[in-house]
Structure 1
Amino acid sequence: MTKIKQNSPVLFYFNQSKKWLVKISKKDSLHTHIGVIKHADAIGKEYGSRLVTNKDKYVYLIEPTMYDYVMKLQHGTQIVYPKDIGYIIARAGIGSGQKILEIGTGSGSLTSFVASVVKPRGHVYTFDVDDNFMKIAEKNIKKAGMSKYVTQQKLDIKIAKKMPIEEADVALIDLGDPWTVLPQVRKMLKGSGSVFAICPTMNQLEKLTIALVENEFTDIESTEHIIRTIEAREGKTRHSFQGIGHTTYLCYARKAFFGRGSRKKSDVLPEETQSDVESEEST
C-alpha cells in the first residue's frame, strides 16, 4: 500500500476537465471553484482515496502517470500529444536501454515520455537552439522526474561539423523543415535505425518523403491519429462533442543502404517509388 507523504506527487481529480497536479506540501492549500483542498489532509492516505472540500465536493487522490505530466506541462511550444506519442513508441519499437536522439526539444513532452520508457539503462539526447524553450523544457522534464535520463544541449544540428552522438536506435525530429537534418541524422543512427518526424502540414510530408528516399531511408510511412472519445452512460451513450482531432502528421522511416554507385537507380529505390521514377525517366 502506497501512502501519500510530504513532497508526494498527487493528481487531485474531480472530473475529466477539472484536475490539478501538485506536489504535496502540508502548509499549502489549493483554492478551486469546488472549494479548498488542504494538502495536509492528503498526507497518510492511500492513492485512490478521496477528500471532501469545504463546499462538500470531493476529489480523488490519484498517483500521476506520465500521461498526466505531459498533459499538465507548461507549453512554450505546441506539445506532442500522448495519442501521437503512443504510436511513435510502438511503431519505432522504443524500449528500455535504447539510445534516443531528439532534434527539437520543444516543451519536453515527447522527451519526458520517451525517457520514461528507455530508463533506467537508456538515455535521451535532445538538442534545440532556443534558450527560452530549453528552459521551459528543462523545468517540465524535471517535474516529470526524468532529468536523470535526459541530456539537453544547445546545438544547431543543421550546421554542426561534428555529430554529438552515434549509433542511436531512434531519431525524433520536431522541426519545421525536418528534411534539412536528414544527412546528419543518418550519420547518428545505427543501421536500420528508425526516424520519426513531426509534420504539421502535408506539404512538409511531401518534401520530407522525397528527402528520405534521397538519403537512403526505407519503410516510409505517413499517418495521422485522431481520438474520438465516447461518453458511456446508461441508456444514452454517444460520442463526445469535444475531443482532440488533428494535431500533427507523423512520418516514419528506417535507415537502409541502397547500394548506390554500384547498381541502377531502379534497382535500389524502395518498391513504392520505383514506378514513379520509371515514369519520369520514360518522358
Structure 2
Amino acid sequence: MDISVSSLNTSTLEEDEVRLGYTHDDIKSFLYKSSIGWWFPFVDETKATKRLLDQFMICLTTCAPKNLKELLDLFTLSIMMMTYQKDDSQLMKERLNFVETVSQLPFTLDTEGVQYIAIGLHKSLVDEALGKERLERVLDIHDAIPALVKSSKLGNDIAVALLLTIMGHYAKVPVELGSNNAQKAFALAKLVNWQELADSDRHADMFMLIRTFSLIINCRSSREECSEWKDLSAEIHKYFLQVRKAFDNSMVYGAFEMMVERFIAYCVVRGATATPHFCDFKICDDTNTNTTNAEA
C-alpha cells in the first residue's frame, strides 16, 4: 500500500538558513493556554534562556503535576526549551537537565497514558504543519529525544511513542503503542511512496520521516524487545538500499538531497546492523555541551 502525500513542495532549502527554534513569544503563548501557566508568573518579564531554565527548575521543587494534562504541558514546555533561543548554544547541559527532570517526576503511566502524552505532544508541537515547517518542528523534537530516552523508562516510552506518532500521523494510520516498536516503524516506513516524494521534490518530508525512523531503530529499547532483530535489520538494510536510489532520476539534486542520501546510507542502511549507542549519551558536569556516541 502506498500513501499519497499532500505536503508543500520543499525543494528550495537554502543551506544558510538556520532554525532559530522557539521564541519568547512562543513560550508565553503556550503557557497562557496551558494548565501550568500559573506556575510560572515570571515568564512575562524573563527572556534570558539560563534564567528561565533556572526558574523553571526551582518551580519544579515546589510544584508537581496532578493530572495527565499538567504532565503533558510540562513535557511540551521542556521540549520547547531545548530549542528556545537556539543561537544561545552554551546552555545545552541546562536544557537537557530540564527535560530529564520532567521525565523523572514520580508519575506512572500505562500504555494509554503514554499514548495520550505522545498524541498531545504531536498536536502541540507539530499538528498540521506541512513541508519545511513540519521538518523544522520535528527536528526541534528530535533535539530532545536523547535526553528523554536516557532519563527514565517513562521518558523512553514517551520518546519512542512520539516518534511513532509522527510517522503514523504522516501515513494517516493509527499506531498501536506498547511493544514491537521497531517492527511497527518499519511497517510505517513501507507505507511511504519514497519515489513519489523524491520525484515531487518533497525532500523535507523525506528527511523528516527517515530521521524519525532512524531514531526509533537506533533506540536500544526498540532493539532489545525485538527477538528477531537480526532478520528485521537485514530487511531494513535491503529495503533502504532501494530507497536511497530514489534520487537517481530526480530533477532537483543539491546539497540537501546529497545529505539525505548520506543519512540513509550511514544512519539507516549501515545503522540498522550496528550496535545502537545514541541512548548512552551523558550530560557531563564539566562542560556545557552534550555528547552522543553514534556509531553508523
Which structure dedicates a bigger proportion of its chain to strand? 1
Fold in common (TM above 0.5): no
* TM-score (ref. length: structure 2): 0.30
Which structure dedicates a bigger proportion of its chain to helix? 2
Q: Which has the higher contact order (CA 8 A, sep 6+)?
A: 2
